[in-house]
Amino acid sequence: MAQQLKWQLGTVVEIREETPKAKSLILDLPEWTTHLAGQHVDVRLTAEDGYQAQRSYSIASPPEDKYLMLTVDRIEDGEVSPYLTDGLRAGDQLELRGPIGGYFVWDARNKQYDGSPLFLAAGGSGIAPLMAMLRHRANSGATVPTRLLYSSRSYEEIIYREELDRLSANDSSLRVIHTLTRRRPADWTGYGRRIDMAMLADTAWSPAEKPLAFTCGPTALVEAVADNLLELGYEPGRIRTERFGPTGG
Amino acid sequence: MAEKFISRGFKGRARETDRALRERIPPGQYETRDFPVLSAGPTPRTPLDRWDFSIYGEIAEDLKWSWEEFLKLPRETFKADIHCVTKWSKLDTVWTGVSLDTLLAGVNLDAQPDVRHLIAYCDGGYTTNLPLADIRNGKAWVVYEYDGRPLAPEHGGPARLLVPHLYFWKSAKWVRGFKLVREDRPGFWETAGYHNYGDPWKEQRYGGD
Amino acid sequence: MHDSDLRLDGNAAGGLLNEIFPFEMTTAEATCGGCGTTRPIGELMLYRHGMGTILRCYVCDTMLIRITHIHGFYRLDFSGMNCLRIAAELH
């Protein structure tokens, strides 16, 4: 039986600026049990007059970490994200429930996917659950061949950029490929457009290798990736999607 | 009992209403300048050359109009305040369309006084139910323009029902026909726990309210 | 506005489903009464209409699950679904 989740309070330990628009909240949750990489939490905010707003955020931290990390993209006229990125202070409390979702998960210990190369495709803050997977993968010493295709608006907006560089530099079985859709540095030699069929044909594992794909980010990007991977011959059951909605990325 | 947790400094979207307009906002509602899109499924996109509108049911004769014929019917442009059960209200929205009185002119309702209900049927499968008394005498329209422009698909275009004096779920999007019947038949949200009638001024949001 | 702007994956309904069912529901498999496709709930199209939660078959758009939460009662409409397969135990 799955546990019925209760709303629990966590304390903000640190607020970390990842990019000009994205911040990570590091939370201490005394009642937290454990989670799998890829799962999310529901965050609930309550105003003094009782009004409540609820949003889901992917857990960016791996199960091995002591604290929980959520990475929030600030949406300009959003109701919740500006509060999380600009209203919260270290020491504040945040109400959430989780972990939620057994569908969009990757567990290094799960024999079911032994040997299946991983193809991860992210847009903007959609990197969060995939980062949990990559961090967990590194912690487990897993060497399953993995490629991350990551779409960001500009170099400055690549979330976890330095950590991704470090992870791939130290691990020959991990390759990170960036594409920058709006602005590129003068010396940029990488991709400079939205993820499309040609890019996926070049970067994704061939279906013959029985890969497992996870894609997360703005809904339009996720649907484009999923549709194209299907056309490339990926099995529907081996493409996992997490749509974030129309904004973000 | 544990005190409810309050998120320090969280205010949510602006929920204060200008004092001057307060009497136009039903209880429990707040004014919005946006026009939120609430969606229960993919947006229907019926091509206009296949669109038609029907009135049928327990009446003597069915009526049907093609899109071209519908546009030739006498039209009105008017302002209305709209109130969604999810608590937002939008004031002074401007619509263009055909009054239900015009549409029903060809139906001899006096000859069948026990036909008292209307069921609206829509592309995508949505339904809602209304007493005939609530859609006659200048209370309801089938509209195809919002703010002077063709009604956008996500807001119910090409045409939607508009019944401003009831909660906005009764203003069925993508409407294609009315079935006139003796026996009321609760629609999509009415069968899911929402109020059968839906008067925002009496805050009739849910069944039993 | 594109249709993709209006929907999420069934995975995002995990929190609500957990309120109702004591099982891991996003991996539960639903068989569509419209086209017969069987897929995990996590892969259904989720429409978070402000008045209720709707999950549709990703192949044919048939409404498989409709949930409202009103005055302390959940109402569930599964009439579009032929079968739901839920793992009784977590592996």
* DSSP track, C22-34: SS--TT-EEEETT
Any CB–CB contact under 8 A between C42 and chain A? Answer: yes
Q: Which residue has the tokens 């799962």?
A: A39
Q: Report the b/e string of C20-49 with b at 16+ CB within 10 A.
A: ebebbbbbbebbbbbeebebbbbbbbbbbb
What are the pLDDT digits (tens) for C20-66? Answer: 998 999 999 999 999 999 999 999 999 999 999 999 999 999 999 99
Q: How confident is the model at residue C13, as a pLDDT?
A: 96
Joined together, the tokens standing for residue A26 give 């590091």
What are the pLDDT digits (tens) for A150-208? Answer: 999 999 999 999 999 999 999 999 999 999 999 999 999 999 999 999 999 999 999 99
pTM of the model: 0.93
Residue of C nearest to A42 (CA): C15
Any CB–CB contact under 8 A between B189 and chain C? Answer: yes
Any CB–CB contact under 8 A between C90 and chain A? Answer: yes
Work out the number of other CB atoms within 10 angstroms of the CB of residue A179.
19
Disruptive mutation site among A6, A48, A84, A96 for chain B (greatest number of B CBs within 10 Å): A48
CB A220 within 8 A of CB C4: yes
C contact chains, 3+ CB pairs < 8 A: A, B
What are the pLDDT digits (tens) for B62-116? Answer: 999 999 999 999 999 999 999 999 999 999 999 999 999 999 999 999 899 999 9
ipTM of the complex as predicted: 0.94
Q: How confident is the model at residue B13, as a pLDDT?
A: 79
Q: Kindly tell me the burial class for residue B26, based on how many C-beta atoms sit within 10 Å of its own C-beta (0-12, 13-18, 19 or more).
A: middle
Is there a contact between B15 and A51 if contact means CB atoms under 8 Å apart?
A: yes
- If pLDDT is split at 50, 70 and 90, which confidence band does C91 have? low
